Amino acid sequence: MKPAEIVVEQPGRGVAALRKTLRLVGSALGFAGSVLLDLCLPTSCAGCQSMENRPRSSWCAGCWDQIPRVVSPLCPKCGKPFRDSPLSSDHLCGECIAPGYHFDTARSAVAHEGIVRSRIHQLKFEGRIEWVPPLVELLETTCAGLPLPEIVLPVPLHLKRLKERGFNQSGLLAGELARRLGAPVSFNAIARKNRTQPQTRLNRKERLENVKGAFEIRRAQSVRGRRILLIDDVFTTGATLSECSRILKRKGGASEVHAVTVTRALLG
């Protein structure tokens, strides 16, 4: 496994110094480092850090129940939840009536808030790769309602940004999710050829322009005629996922693209 695809487990409370040391060791040893953490450190809840009452491998019952899941009513295409009309049935949102997205469907596990939002930020900006398994558990719950993928792909980072960060968080999530699903994963079928501005600074129109033409197919043979599961950490406007899907279909010949993210930013 490449350094950008390392996954390690979350250690328990009271071992912060050892955690930092072993995280560095894990980064150097790859999968062996993951096993080392499993053997040396107990696993605590990814939310409250408790080591008690854990019915699941990463979340205690209390935190699992409090995670703000994205549920119906929602848009059946892009997965946008309609929180202001909880008694309505699923229906297309304004963006999908247009239509404006190139993926077949998109789904997110939870709203981009609370402890899950914090864990994503820690993963991306602090290198806390031990949060990958808990986040993938949330992705698994969302994938249960989608067609079985023939290949899993992460949204790619530009090479310069990848070197700066040291890893692609979407690649980490995609690799672990593919392992759990028993599906093949490709980290180089699609590439980001343009170093775009960070999407967080832009509005929807600017985001669409920012990612237009930013991706290219590198290994068309790996996606041609296949049903793709496209993985990213956060769905904000869907611009990046849509542009990746457009290239995968039009240039790569993918038959379907279903996008899944850990969280969904609930815009106005």
Q: Pairing between strand 215-217 and 190-192?
A: antiparallel
Token reading at 126? 């602090």
- In a structure prediction context, what are the per-residue pLDDT tens digits for the chain, which is 268 residues long? 333 333 333 333 344 444 444 444 444 444 444 444 544 455 788 998 887 766 567 898 889 999 999 999 999 999 999 988 888 999 999 889 877 899 999 999 999 999 999 999 999 999 999 999 999 999 999 998 899 999 999 999 988 888 888 999 999 999 999 999 999 999 999 999 876 666 566 666 666 677 777 899 998 999 999 999 999 999 998 989 999 999 999 999 999 999 999 999 987 5
DSSP H or E run through 109? strand 105-111
Q: What angle do CA 73, 81, 108 make, to 5 degrees?
A: 115
How high is the pLDDT of residue 3?
A: 37
Is residue 95 exposed (0-12), middle (13-18) or buried (19+ Cβ within 10 Å)? middle
Are 109 and 69 a contacting pair, CB within 8 Å? yes
Token reading at 111? 């709203």
How high is the pLDDT of residue 42?
A: 52
How high is the pLDDT of residue 18?
A: 46
How much of the chain is in helix, strand and coil states, percent to nearest 5?
40, 15, 45
How high is the pLDDT of residue 203?
A: 61
Domains and CATH numbers, the chain: 69-196+204-264 (3.40.50)
Beta bridge partners, 234, equal 263
